[in-house]
């Protein structure tokens, strides 16, 4: 899929309006997104005499009713529903993690969510669910995150992938197609897809939309027809660069299968990570909006800079920028001082990286280039620093790179 270059000034104006008004183009919720972010998963705390979320670090739980335990385990094995009553064992579920799952499902507008130890563990679980049903074929649109691309292409879990442009999705579907996977805005080019049109093209095949870059603050793919919403929760949901996790928001039917895979494979999320993620959700809307305001301004300045060839910035806004330089991108990486040269994204501090060398290195060079991931492309995850300080650092680094 070709890289898409958007009108940066229009995107800046749209993001400026979003930041000033606090409004986002989402369907009505029972409560405002900012309110849900603060309160979802915590509604029972006051009744327990608590204000902060407790962290349950137990790996196992006492039970003097072994017959009852056997019945609950049998029920879980049969349908994957969360066991009623007190917890059983850490691999079956954890109360702190369950709070995060409840909150994320509410923010994404889905029935359920299932958390995992990483985003790749979450994607692997989705593929294993479909593979177990004999639906090993995946239709996908590039670009995707490099490791997602590799997992599909290498067939490590027995999947077979057909790469298509969005217009070719319907024609690529087969009787054994179990999944259509897209990412919008895409990593790292920030290309956007019409998710509603993509979901229509999928027919009865579930659409998995990676919503890591946008977060539910900017879009909720379930409202546009996606059945599965994937997050590398390591990024914006955690938001502070100190937790690794993944999560799939989905309907309860699919969630039950995911829980069974998680139990069998052991890709569980640690309770402390669940606590940090729930805490991260409480500031997600304000962090995304503030970082997006910074990003829109930096994108505007980069687009006007003669040292920059092209700027990629999504129409929905957001805190991610991709830009191609005339000089050596490695010199830019080496010259920043305030901005941190590091893989990952979505933290409160600004990170920069060279996708062709790091996040997408594992994708074959020809496929990278065809997807718009050129050798001069840099990806900038904009944080919450003062925008003038960020620009001074970028300006200096671009000057050194020539």
Active site residues: 91, 145, 210, 235
Cα 128 to Cα 90, 187, 226, 268: the distances in Å are: 21, 23, 19, 15
The single residue listed with the structure tokens 């929905």 is: 316
CA atoms of 371 and 365, how far apart (whole Å): 10
Which residues contact residue 193 at a Cβ distance below 8 angstroms, ignoring those fewer than 6 apart? 141, 166, 182, 184, 186
What six digits make up the tokens of 192?
């956007």
Length of the chain: 402
Crossing angle of the two packed helices 387-401 and 284-303, in degrees rounded to 10: 40
What six digits make up the tokens of 122?
């979450």
CA atoms of 378 and 311, how far apart (whole Å): 10
Task: Give strand ranges (E) for 73-198.
Answer: 112-116, 137-140, 160-163, 177-183
Element (H, E) at 311: strand 308-312
Collapsed DSSP state (helix, strand, coil) of residue 284: helix
The candidate with the shortest Cα–Cα distance to 40, out of 96, 112, 120, 101, is 101
Element (H, E) at 192: none
Which residues contact residue 67 at a Cβ distance below 8 angstroms, ignoring those fewer than 6 apart? none
198 backbone dihedrals φ, ψ, rounded to 5°: -65, -45
Crossing angle of the two packed helices 119-132 and 146-153, in degrees rounded to 10: 30
Cα 352 to Cα 81, 228, 379: the distances in Å are: 42, 29, 6
């Amino acid at each position: 899929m070709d890289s898409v270059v958007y009108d940066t000034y229009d995107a800046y104006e749209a993001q400026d309006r979003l930041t000033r008004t606090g409004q986002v183009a989402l369907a009505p919720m029972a409560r405002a997104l900012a309110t849900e972010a603060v309160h979802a998963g915590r509604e029972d705390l006051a009744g327990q005499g608590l204000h902060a979320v407790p962290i349950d670090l137990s790996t196992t739980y006492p039970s003097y009713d072994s017959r009852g335990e056997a019945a609950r385990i049998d029920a879980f094995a049969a349908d994957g529903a969360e066991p009623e009553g007190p917890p059983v064992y850490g691999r079956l579920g954890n109360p702190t993690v369950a709070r995060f799952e409840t909150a994320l499902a509410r923010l994404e507008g889905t029935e359920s969510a299932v958390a995992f130890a990483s985003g790749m563990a979450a994607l692997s679980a989705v593929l294993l669910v479909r593979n177990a049903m004999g639906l090993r074929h995946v239709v996908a649109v590039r670009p995707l995150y490099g490791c997602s691309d590799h997992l599909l292409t290498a067939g490590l879990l027995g999947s077979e992938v057909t790469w298509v442009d969005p217009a070719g999705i319907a024609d690529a579907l087969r009787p054994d197609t179990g999944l259509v996977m897209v990412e919008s805005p895409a990593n790292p080019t920030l290309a956007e897809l019409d998710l509603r049109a993509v979901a229509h093209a999928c027919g009865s095949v579930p659409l998995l939309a990676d919503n890591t870059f946008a977060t539910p603050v900017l879009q909720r793919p379930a409202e546009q027809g996606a059945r599965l919403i994937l997050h590398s929760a390591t990024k914006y949901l955690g938001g502070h660069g100190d937790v690794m996790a993944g999560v799939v928001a989905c309907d309860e039917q699919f969630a039950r299968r995911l829980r069974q895979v998680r139990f069998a494979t052991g890709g569980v999320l640690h309770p402390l990570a669940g606590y940090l993620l729930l805490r991260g959700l409480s500031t997600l809307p304000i962090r995304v909006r503030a970082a997006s305001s910074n990003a829109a301004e930096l994108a505007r300045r980069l687009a006007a800079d003669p040292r920059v060839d092209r700027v990629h910035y999504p129409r929905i806004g957001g805190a991610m920028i991709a830009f191609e330089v005339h000089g050596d991108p490695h010199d830019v990486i080496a010259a920043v001082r305030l901005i941190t040269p590091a893989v990952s994204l979505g933290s409160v501090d600004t990170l920069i990286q060279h996708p062709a060398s790091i996040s997408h290195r594992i994708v074959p060079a020809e496929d990278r280039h065809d997807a718009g991931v050129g050798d001069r492309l840099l990806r900038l995850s904009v944080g919450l620093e003062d925008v003038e300080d960020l620009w001074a650092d970028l300006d200096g680094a671009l000057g050194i790179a020539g």
